Amino acid sequence: MSYIKVQCDECEKEHQINQKEFDFEQVDSDERQMGAEITYEGDLEFTCDCGQHITVIHRFWEYPENFENYKETEVSGASVVENKL
Ligand SMILES: [Zn+2]
């Protein structure tokens, strides 16, 4: 299963977020030699028990279609412990 584990910067509590909790949307597409390169982005915002606001943004690129060739994750308010997205 794909997930990310982050640790709150304030209280050090760990939060695990499963990939299915993200609502991925196609945000960009580019025509290239082997077809379209599509960018997907999903973001998730939540508040830790201590009140800290945590944001996780995950993007991935598919090229050729259905083949994930690159991905990146941005986290604010927490640090990444494990990233299996
Ligand atoms: Zn916290």
CA of 1 to the centre of ligand 1 (A): 25
Q: Sign of torsion, CA 22 10 53 41? A: negative
Residues 6+ positions from 50 with CB-CB distance below 8 Å = 8, 10, 11, 13
Regarding pTM above 0.95, the answer is no
Question: Residues 39-74: pLDDT tens digits?
Answer: 999 999 999 999 999 999 999 999 998 899 999 999
- Give the per-residue pLDDT at 53: 98
What amino acid is encoded at 41 in this protein?
E
CA of 27 to the centre of ligand 1 (A): 30
Domain containing 49: what range?
Answer: 3-83
Contact 58/75 with Cβ under 8 angstroms?
no
Both tokens of 39, joined, read: 């960018």
Number of domains the chain contains = 1
What amino acid is encoded at 18 in this protein?
N
